[in-house]
A and B are shown apart, each in its own frame.
Chain A
Amino acid sequence: MPKLVIDGREISVPEGTTILRAAERLGIEIPHLCYHPKLPPVGLCRLCLVEVEKNPKLQASCSTPVAEGMVIHTESERVLKARRGVLEFLMLNHPPDCTICDKAGECKPQEYVFQCGIAESRFIETKRVNPPQDFGDKLVFRVDRCILCQRCVQFCREIAGMEELGVFNRGGRSVIGTFRGKPVENKYSGNMIDICPTGAITSRDFRFKSRVWNLTMVPSICPRCSNGCNIFIEFKDNKILRIRPRDNEQVNQCWICDEGRFGHHFVNSLDRLTTPLIKNGGKLSPTSWEEALGRAAEGLGRVIANYGAESLGGIGSAWCTNEDDYVFQKFLREVVRTGNIDLGKIREEKDESYPGNDFLIQPEKAPNRRGAEEMGISPGEDCRDREGMFKEAAGGKIKAFLIIGSNPAKETGAREALAKVEFLVVQDLFLTDTAKQADVVLPAASYAEKEGSFTNFRGRVQWLNRALRPRGEARPDWKIICELANRMGGDFSYPGAQEILKEIAEKIPAYREVSLEKLRADGILISTK
């Protein structure tokens, strides 16, 4: 391991480490623009120049490997002068439009120019103006803000596996662009918004919605498929404004897909249920929690009393947290005493003809199928699975359903079956076709409005933190179930999802290692059976 000295401090790093990486280990951040830890170093921007003693020329630290005995200065007068010079060049054609630029506050050149204290430009010529270019409906490209670091080009080529961007023309006339104006179509394109160090690539969805420094960030897990990418929910005034990736080397590195990034609008949708509803004279109308829960407990209780516990069926959800599903099945098994439990149907989608590198997206379009099953959302011995339940409902044997977070009314046969039952309770975010048929509809909190855990398809259990207040009067599913259970003779007194997690760790062998601390860090792989 070569030993070297950076800014007077000694360090040994493995052969092949670049100067920039070695400095990082000492906590020294060398300003850089084109270098990105997940992309091959290209040495384009020259901002990362450092002085290596005995070397007449300054060296690009992002692409120069360390060598034994190197003595490096990252803040010497020569380096600072070069850095100011490079920045001045990079800014030559850059419009001074931070005031209206979405990147302001998280823009790299802005930060570096500020650090270097360059107050004046000596450039008196006219700034280059290039015709605007359309990158499609997800990205907004402002060519004049581009400093040609080529991170975006590299990203498309190396990570997304679809080389949709190129560098055209030469020298001072170079521009980034798509070929023949073809929109950028790879499913991971939103990551370029994050890695573009400037405001050249911004988000069509987020732009102009807020200055970034007014957002609150809460770590969470993406609910759009079973990969379980780590995200930050970024919000203002109780509204999600954008989703960004959160580093987790085990799951998504520093990336997320466009579905995960832009698919958050359902949370803020005006169609969300805001109060409980009960059916009176064939019509659903708003009511209080008290009344709705009372009606639900009474209705389910009546069916059990009249036809027995096996006349009740429960459909759990791969959209709900482990804590929701655990409490749900516990209620059915221990209070209702039925094993007619199964999971709502999950949309599966695999794009076989996708030409790019589909490295995150899973076919399962729900975050927690595996966790739900492991929590016990599956039929007990001699009990009915989903299809069996609907068949028996159609045949008149199953008389009531409790359905959380799924919409079976879309499935053939299920709609008719649901129409036949005597009593139907549905918990959901929206008034789905299933909810429309219900006698009691209970508004549930979305993933962003509650705490809990998801288990991704590989078996990694990860924690969601609450970002928002629930919409209207919505409540987390587990809480609703607890209330219901307590009205039906149970004693479910969990103060919060964290206590449910503790019980899961005690009761479910595969989950014995889980703890809040581990889940909050990188998550934990459950022991495989």
Chain B
Amino acid sequence: MEFSKETRKKFEQVLQRYPRKEAALLPTLYLAQEEFGYLSAEVVQYVAELMEIPAPRVYGVATFYTMFNKEPVGRYHIQVCSNVSCALRGVEQLVEYLKEKLKINVGETTPDKKFTLSTVECLGFCDNSPAMQINDDYYSDLTRDKIDEILEKLK
């Protein structure tokens, strides 16, 4: 297990941005997630060695943030906000709807590895809640119809 040449380069650049190596841990974990899909124990070990930080500390950071996946995820990672504003605007029913539609529970991946469904903390779209994020894109003012439409477009 090793970063590709390209990621390695990005990593070197990331290091430049911080006064201490340890400070670059979060962006490095992101790079690792991009490269390897998710942060398996092996990946955490690799990053720990690369950054010269004890592995338990790296694993602590990796597990603290929900943005890091500790399990493999599908091609599309649907992250639905479950915080207050979205909750007040009925996101719970939408999560139920997604569960029925995809036939999986929260935290699971469809058998064809296409979708993973998670709930996350506030996405910063409270003014247009309910909101969700799929990979790097955000969707707000969600309704059932809108969800149908969005998922339809994802191949």
B14 interface residue (CB < 8 Å to A) = no
Q: Which residues of A contact B57 (CB under 8 A)?
A: 163, 166
When the two chains form their complex, are residues B60 and A180 in contact, meaning their CB atoms are under 8 A apart?
no
Docked pose: A180 CA to B55 CA in angstroms: 9
Nearest CB of chain B from residue A299's CB, rounded to whole Å: 61
Q: Are B63 and A169 in contact (CB under 8 A)?
A: yes
Tell which of A164, A169, A177, A179 has the most Cβ of chain B within 10 Å: A179
Give complex CA distance A166, B65 in Å: 15
Contact of B64 among A163, A164, A169, A177 (CB under 8 A): A169
Q: Find chain B residues with CB under 8 A from A163 CB.
A: 54, 56-57
- A170 at interface by CB-CB < 8 Å: yes
**For residue A165, which residues in chain B have a CB less than 8 angstroms away from its CB?**
56
- Interface residue? A515 (CB, 8 A): no
Q: Is A168 an interface residue (CB 8 A)?
A: yes
Near A by CB (< 8 A), chain B positions 1-56 give 41, 44-45, 54-56
A164-B56 CB under 8 A given contacts A179-B44, A180-B41: yes
**How many interface residues does chain B have, given as a range?**
10 to 19
16 chain-A/chain-B pairs, Cβ below 8 angstroms: A157-B54, A164-B54, A165-B56, A166-B54, A166-B56, A166-B57, A167-B60, A168-B59, A168-B60, A169-B63, A170-B64, A177-B56, A178-B56, A179-B41, A180-B41, A180-B45
Residue of chain B at shortest CB distance from A173: B63
Collect the chain A residues with CB atoms within 8 Å of residue B44's CB. Answer: 179
Q: Which of B41, B55, B66 has the most CB of A within 10 A?
A: B55
Cα distance A165–B64 when bound, in Å? 15
Interface bits A173-194 vs B (CB < 8 Å: 1, else 0):
0000111100000000000000
Contact A166 B60 (CB under 8 A): yes
Interface residues of B (CB under 8 A from A): 41, 44-45, 54-57, 59-60, 63-66
Complex contact A179–B59 (CB within 8 A): yes
Instruction: Tell me the dominant secondary structure on chain B's binding face.
Output: helix
Residues of A within 8 Å of B63, CB to CB, are 168-170
Which 10 pairs between the two chains have the least Cβ-Cβ distance? A166-B56, A163-B54, A166-B60, A179-B56, A168-B63, A179-B55, A169-B63, A170-B64, A179-B59, A167-B60
Which size class do A's interface residues fall under? 10 to 19
Bound: A167/B64 CA distance, A: 9
CB-defined contacts of B56 to chain A, threshold 8 Å: 163-166, 177-179
- CB neighbours (8 Å) of A170 from chain B are 63-66
Task: State the Cβ distance, B27 to closest chain A Cβ, in Å.
Answer: 19
What is the bound-complex CA distance between A455 and B123, given in angstroms? 65
Flag if B59 contacts A166 (CB, 8 Å).
Answer: yes
Which single residue of chain A is at the shortest CB-CB distance from B60?
A166
Query: Which chain A residues border B59 with CB–CB below 8 Å?
Result: 166, 168, 179
Closest A residue to B61 by beta carbon equals: A166
Interface residues in A458-508 by Cβ distance below 8 A to B read none
Provide the residues of chain A in CB contact with B54, threshold 8 Å: 157, 163-164, 166
Query: For residue A156, which residue of chain B has the nearest CB?
Result: B56
B61: min CB distance to chain A, Å: 9
Instruction: Chain A residues near B41: list those with CB within 8 A.
Output: 179-180
Please name the residue on chain A nearest to B62 by beta carbon.
A168
Closest chain A residue, CB of each to CB of B65: A170
**List of B residues within 8 angstroms of A179 by Cβ:** 41, 44-45, 55-56, 59
A170 to B54, CA, bound (A): 19
A169 partner residues in chain B, CB cutoff 8 A? 63-64
A164, A166, A167, A178, most chain B CB atoms within 10 A: A166
What separation, in Å, do the CA atoms of A519 and B63 have in the docked complex? 51
CA of A178 to CA of B55 in the docked complex: distance in angstroms? 9
Binary CB contact string for chain A from 143 to 176 against chain B (1 if under 8 A, 0 otherwise): 0000000000000010000011111111000000
Which residues of chain A are within 8 angstroms of B55 by Cβ–Cβ distance?
179-180
A178 cross-chain contacts in B, Cβ below 8 A: 56
Residues of chain B within 8 A (CB-CB) of A166 are: 54, 56-57, 59-60
Contacts of B64 in A (CB 8 A): 168-170
Q: Which residues of B contact A167 (CB under 8 A)?
A: 60
Q: Which residue of B lies closest to A169 (CB)?
A: B63
Please name all residues of chain B whose beta carbon is closer than 8 Å to the beta carbon of A180 when the two chains form the complex: 41, 45, 55
Closest B residue to A164 by beta carbon equals: B56
Give the chain A neighbours of B66 by CB distance below 8 A: 170
Report the bound CA distance from A166 to B63 in whole Å: 11
The chain B residue with its CB closest to the CB of A168 is B63
Within the assembled complex, what's the spacing in Å between the Cα atoms of A179 and B61? Answer: 12
**CA A167 to CA B54, docked complex, whole Å:** 12
Docked CA distance A178–B60 (Å)? 10
Residue of B55, B56, B57, B60 most packed against chain A (CB within 10 A): B56
CB distance from A255 to the nearest CB of B (A): 20
The minimal Cβ–Cβ distance linking A146 to chain B, given in whole angstroms, is: 15
Query: What is the chain A residue whose CB lies nearest that of B54?
Result: A163
Cα separation A164 to B44 with both chains bound (whole Å): 14
Supply 16 further A-B pairs (C-beta < 8 A) apart from A167-B60, A179-B45, A179-B55.
A157-B54, A163-B56, A164-B54, A166-B54, A166-B56, A166-B59, A168-B59, A168-B64, A170-B63, A170-B64, A170-B66, A179-B41, A179-B56, A179-B59, A180-B41, A180-B55
Taking the nearest CB of chain B, how far is it from the CB of A281, in angstroms? 63
Closest to B42 in A: A180
C-alpha spacing A164/B54, complex, angstroms:
8
- CA gap between A170 and B65 in the complex, in Å: 8
Complex: A336 Cα to B56 Cα, angstroms: 63
Nearest chain B CB to A508 CB, angstrom units: 48
Task: Report the minimum CB–CB distance from B54 to chain A (whole Å).
Answer: 4
- Write out the residue numbers on chain B whose beta carbons fall within 8 Å of the beta carbon of A164: 54, 56
In the complex, what residue of chain B is closest to A165 when comparing beta carbons? B56
**Complex: A180 Cα to B41 Cα, angstroms:** 7
Minimum CB–CB distance from B62 to chain A (whole Å) comes to 9
Q: Considering the chains assembled together, what is the distance between the CA atoms of A473 and B98 in angstroms?
A: 79
A247 to B84, CA, bound (A): 51
Chain A's nearest CB lies how many Å from the CB of B138? 23
